[in-house]
Amino acid sequence: MDKIRESLLKKSIASKIERRGKIISLICLALIVSVVFLIFYFVASRGLATFFKNHINLWQFLSGTQWNPGTMGTNGQPAVGALPMIVGSFLITILSALIATPFAIGTAVFMTEISPRRGAKILRPVTELLVGIPSVVYGFIGLQVVVPFVRNTFGGSGYGILSGTFVLFVMILPTVTSMSADALNAVPRYYREASLALGATRWQTIYKVVLRAAIPGMLTAIVFGMARAFGEALAVQMVIGNATLLPHNLVSPASTLTSILTMGIGNTVMGSLQNNALWSLAMILLLMSLVFNLAIRYIGRKGKLNHER
């Protein structure tokens, strides 16, 4: 009798396996989440040391134009002005997004509205393939093709914001195009039919109906491309010239946050001001990628509201 009672009250093997499986999968998820917090903690602990341990003024760091952390600047403080890099990063991001947007949206409209068959057969596979091309390959092409082209056409050494912009333009073009095409494809078919039934031409339908309905999706695509451009390190580092000066024109050597980081981290001693200042740059990168993320979420939520209305 007791045996039966015991076997009935004891947990079955199946329920033990169930429990174990649930815990294992939860641990996996917890591991990923903790990695994110570790990244933020480690980068912030180094990046904030510049301000708390080395007592650099935050405003001076963001607005200073001299970057040479090992030496003293003209004001007797260590020269840790990050403005040239911040300006460089934002300039190439905005410029490349500005150039890429019309091309990407034009191609996406062509793929979805004008010639869907050719779009699906040729354009879509090619763009999706190009999304996967490694960034060093873009950098190498930039070095071989874009830099000489800029040097011969606009003068200067060829290294600078303009070359960086061109390389990033080609790099984010496939991403923005394929995401915009997804946004256009998501516009319901009856929107187009209703517009055509009212006697609108194809262009009027595209311009007045389809594009407007797809605005949130396309904005997401553009912000996504900008985030990629902002965080790109090696391709930009190879063509921008890496001079920590405020760029006076588009063809003079400049630098970005990522390019100075990749060059500098290996050549500085852990814990020194030179090193901490670089980690502060990394912290700016981290914060900006959060901002892009928030922007994408905000646009997504707004877009949903518009569709429901």
Q: Does position 194 bind other proteins by CB under 8 A?
A: no
Residue number with CB closer to other proteins (136 or 194): 136
Pick out residues in 210-229 that bind other proteins (CB under 8 A): 227
- Least distance CB 183 / other proteins (angstroms): 16
- 150-179: contacts with other proteins (CB under 8 A): 170, 173-174, 177
Q: Is 27 in the site for other proteins (CB under 8 A)?
A: yes
300 binds other proteins (CB under 8 A): no
Q: Which of 88, 139, 164, 225 binds other proteins (CB under 8 A)?
A: 139
Which residue from 265, 268, 274, 298 is in contact with other proteins, where contact means CB under 8 A? 265
CA distance 196 to 175: 30
Q: Which residues pair with 67 in a beta bridge?
A: 80
Identify whether the C-beta of residue 209 lies closer than 8 Å to the C-beta of residue 191: yes
User: Of 109, 115, 255, which Cα lies nearest the Cα of 184?
Assistant: 109
Out of 203, 212, 302, 306, which residue is the one contacting other proteins (CB under 8 A)? Answer: 203
Q: Measured from the CB atom, is 77 or 268 closer to other proteins?
A: 268
Least distance CB 197 / other proteins (angstroms): 15
Per-residue mark of binding to other proteins, 73-112 (x: CB under 8 A): -----------------------------xxx-xx-xxx-
Q: Alpha-carbon distance 130 to 308, whole Å?
A: 35
Q: What minimum distance in Å lies between the beta carbon of 189 and other proteins? A: 20
Stretch (H or E) spanning 78? strand 78-80
Collect contacts of 40-48 with beta carbons under 8 A, ≥24 apart.
Answer: 40/286, 43/279, 43/282, 43/283, 43/286, 44/283, 44/286, 46/275, 46/276, 46/279, 46/282, 46/283, 47/276, 47/279, 47/280, 47/281, 47/282, 47/283, 48/280, 48/283
Cβ proximity to other proteins, 129 vs 194, nearer residue: 129
Nearer to other proteins, 46 or 192 (CB): 46
Binding other proteins (rule: CB under 8 A), the pick from 58, 114, 120, 194 is 114
Kindly state the smallest distance separating residue 62's Cβ from other proteins, in Å.
Answer: 19
Q: Please count the CA atoms within 13 angstroms of the CA of 282 that sit on its side-chain side.
A: 23
Q: How many CA atoms lie within 13 A of 252 on its CB side?
A: 9
List, in order, residues 6 or more apart from 286 with CB less than 8 Å away: 39, 40, 43, 44
From 121-129, 185-193, 208-216, 247-255, span contacting other proteins (CB under 8 A): 121-129
User: Residue 66 or residue 112: which is nearer to other proteins going by CB?
Assistant: 112
